[in-house]
Amino acid sequence: MPKKKLGPMNLYPLLPKTNCGECGPKTCMGFAVQLTERNLGIDQCPPIADPKYQVQLSRIRELLAPPVREVVIGTGPRKVRVGGELVMRRHELRYFNQTAIATLVSDDMLPDQVQAKVKETEAFRYPYIGSTLTLDAIAVRSVTGDPASFRNTVKTVREATELPLILWSFDPRVIAAGLEAAAGHRPLIYAANVENWQEMAGLARDAGCPLALFVPDDIRTIRSLAASVRAAGVEDLLLDVGCGFSESLPSTINDLTEIRTAAVNEGDSLLGYPIIGSPATLWEKRNSESDETIRWMESCLASMMVIRYVDLLMVRDASMWSILPLVVLRANLFNDPRKPVSVEPGLRTFGNPDPDRSPVLITSNFALTYYTVLADIEKLDCYLMVADTEGLSVDSAVAGRKLNAQKVADIILSTGIEGLARHRTLIIPGLAARLKGDIEDATGWDVMVGPRDSAGIPAFLKEKWEGKDHTPGWSYR
C-alpha cells in the first residue's frame, strides 16, 4: 500500500486546539506544520498528555512514525540512533540519523591489541565546520567460535570504551557469552539468519537488544524473516543483504535501493528497518593485495552504501586517509538542506585592527567558505568583508559573475571600510585573481591576490604584508 505523504491537516484535527502556544508556535495549526516537518515532537504539546486525548495521541504517534524504524544501540551519552528516516532523497525534507560507523575487533586478538584498536577508533577525530567528526561503535567479531574468548574480548572492549557494541557471530552460544559480558549496555546482535533465527530472536528478546538479520541478496527471504522474528517478539531489527564489489556490486546497490524504496514509497513495514552493511568483509577474500588496496576499495564501497541508504556500516579500521572521505561525505549528506547556505554579508572585525597596518580581506557569503576562512583568520587582527555572492563559493561566484568588481565596490561603500582602513589595499582570494584589474579600476583600491586556500593566509600575510608600509601613497597610485 503506497504511503500517503503526511500533511498538517492529517494532524491538526487530532490536536487539542487550545492554541495555548506552550509548544512554541502560537496556534495548534502552526504546531501541526512543525510536527510534519519534524522540527518539533508531539512530546512538546503538554495538553495532549491529558488522558482524554489518549486515542488522538496514539493516532498521532502512528502517523508520525517514520517509515524506517528508529533503533537505538548502546546506552548512555554515546548511544547511537540509526534509521528513523522519512524520505528517499535528502531534498524531499532531510536525512535524520547519520549513518553510524563501527570498526572491527576480533576475539583472536590479544587484549592489548584490542585496547589499541579501540583507542585508535576513539582517537579518530576531525574538526569540521563547527563540529567534530568521529566514529560511533565497535563491532566484536567471533572468529575462534569459542564462547569464552568472545566473552573475554567483549569484556576487554567494554572496559576500554563507552562506545556502543555490535556482537558479531552466527552461533547463538557465542552471542549468549557476549551478551553476558555486555549486560545492560544494549549491544546490537549481529546476526540472525534463516538457520539460527529462533535462538537469536530468543536471545535478543530476553536481553532487550536490537537484532540484525542477515540474508544475502534475497529481499523476499529477509522480509519473511523479519515477519517471523517480529512475531517472536523482537521489534528493533536491522537488515543486512550483504555487499561486495565486482560482480556483487550491482546487487548490492540494487538491493539497498529497492529495500528503501519499498519502505519509504510503499510503506512496507517489513522492510522499514535500518540497513546495516559491512564493507569490512572485503578484507576476507584478500589474496595478495596490499592493505592500501583493500582500504581504498572498502572506502569506495562504504561511500556508495552511505549514499544508498545504509544506516550502520562496519569497516575494519579507523584508517584516517581512507575513512576521512567517508565521514565527510556522511556529514555532507546528512546536513539539513533547509539550513541556509549563506551567511549575512557585511563586515567582520577580528582582534584589534589598526587603520594603517591591518589587512582587509574579502570572501564569499557561502557558509562553508565563510566558516573555513573564519577558522583560519580569527586569531589575526584584520577586517573581513563578506560579499553577497548569493551563497556561492568564491570560484563559482567568480565564474557565475556573482562576485565582480561592482559587487566589491558596493561592499566597500556599504561597510564604510574606507574610514577604517586608510591603506586602501584589499586582499582578494587567489580563486578570484582574475578580478584584480577590474576591482582596482572600479574602486581605486590596490588589490593583492591572496592564496587560493585560506589556510595560507597567515603565511601570506607574514611574507607579503607584515613589516611593509601600507600607509597611503605606498603603492604606485
Partner 1 sequence: MQGTDQEEVLKHLLRIISGGGSLELEGVTFSAEELSISLSDLSAIRAVTGEVPVPAVTEGIELLEWQPPRRTYPGKIGEVVLGSTRGDGGSRVKSVTIGGATTPAFHLFEGSEPHPPVVAGSVFDMVPPLPGPVKSSFGDAVEDPCAWAKAWVDRYGADLIDLDLISTDPYIKDTPVKRAVNLVEDLLQTVDVPLIIGGSGNPEKDAKLLPKVAEVCAGERILLSSATMDMWEPVAKAAQQYNHVALAWSPIDINQAKELNRKLLGYLPMDQIVMDPTSAALGYGLEYSFSVMERIRLAGLMGDRDLQCPQASGTANSWGAREAWKRDDYLGPREYRGPLWEATGALAFLLAGVDLFIMVHPGAARTVEDIVGWLVDGRNLPTFPEFIGVGK
Nearest approach, Cβ of 395 to partner 1 (angstroms)?
A: 7
Residues 161-190 binding partner 1 (CB under 8 A) are 169-171
Mask for 318-357, x = binds partner 1 (CB under 8 A): -xxxx-xxx-xx-xxx-x-x---x----------------
* Helix ranges (DSSP H) in 272-361: 291-307, 320-333
Q: Is 119 in the site for partner 1 (CB under 8 A)?
A: no
Question: Would you say the C-alpha torsion 303, 304, 306, 311 has a positive or negative sign?
Answer: negative
DSSP helix/strand/coil, 317: coil
134 binds partner 1, rule: CB under 8 A: no
**452 forms part of the interface with partner 1 (CB under 8 A):** yes
DSSP state of 6: P
Backbone angles phi and psi of 246, in degrees to 5: 55, -135
Kindly state the smallest distance separating residue 396's Cβ from partner 1, in Å: 5
Stretch binding partner 1 (CB under 8 A), from 157-165, 180-188, 361-369, 407-415: 361-369
Q: Using the rule CB under 8 A, is 453 a contact of partner 1?
A: yes
In terms of CB distance, is 25 or 429 closer to partner 1?
A: 429
**3-class secondary structure per residue, 154-204:** HHHHHHHCCCCEEEECCCHHHHHHHHHHCCCCCCEEEEECCCCHHHHHHHH
Rounded Cα–Cα distance for residues 81 and 100 (Å):
8
Q: In the chain, how many H helices and how many E strands? A: 16, 17
SS3 content of the chain, % helix, strand, coil (to 5): 45, 15, 40
Choose the stretch contacting partner 1; rule: CB under 8 A; options: 40-48, 62-70, 279-287, 467-475.
Answer: 279-287
Residues in region 72-101 near partner 1 by CB under 8 A: 89-91
Q: Is 364 in the site for partner 1 (CB under 8 A)?
A: no
Of 157, 176, 211, 282, the one binding partner 1 by CB under 8 A: 282
DSSP-derived 3-state class of residue 387: strand
Task: Pick the piece of the chain touching partner 1 (CB under 8 A) from 4-12, 58-66, 153-161, 394-402.
Answer: 394-402
CA nearest 363: which of 397, 332, 340? Answer: 397
Tell me the per-residue interface mask from 137 to 166 with partner 1, x by CB under 8 A, - otherwise: -----xx-x---------------------
| Cell numbers that stand for 277 in this block | 552493511
Whichever of 368 and 420 has its CB closer to partner 1, that residue is: 368
Task: Tell me the number of residues near partner 1 by CB under 8 A.
Answer: 111
User: Which of 55, 132, 195, 419 touches partner 1 by CB under 8 A?
Assistant: 195
Local structure of residue 309 (DSSP, 8 states): T
Would you call 165 helix, strand, or coil by DSSP?
Answer: strand
Q: Which of 181, 200, 204, 398 binds partner 1 (CB under 8 A)?
A: 398
Residue 368 sits in the site that holds partner 1 (CB under 8 A): yes
Quote the least distance from Cβ 436 to partner 1, whole Å: 6
Q: Binders of partner 1 among 237-256, rule CB under 8 A?
A: 240-251, 253-255
Q: Grid coordinates standing for 163?
A: 562506545
The reply on whether position 297 binds partner 1 by CB under 8 A is yes
Q: Cβ of residue 166: shortest distance to partner 1, in angstroms?
A: 12
Grid coordinates given for 243: 555487499
Helix (H, G, I), strand (E, B) or coil at 114: helix
Residue closer to partner 1, measured from CB, 55 or 231: 231
The answer to whether the beta carbons of residues 359 and 427 sit under 8 Å apart is yes
- By CB under 8 A, tell whether 5 contacts partner 1: no
Q: Is 261 in the site for partner 1 (CB under 8 A)?
A: yes
CB 352 within 8 A of CB 379: no
Interface with partner 1 includes 191 (CB under 8 A)?
yes
Q: Which is nearer to partner 1, 249 or 409 (CB)?
A: 249
If residue 347 lies in a helix (H) or strand (E), which one and from where to where?
A: strand 346-350
Q: Does 440 bind partner 1 (CB under 8 A)?
A: no
What 3-state DSSP class applies to 137? strand
* Residue 67 near residue 277, CB atoms below 8 Å: no
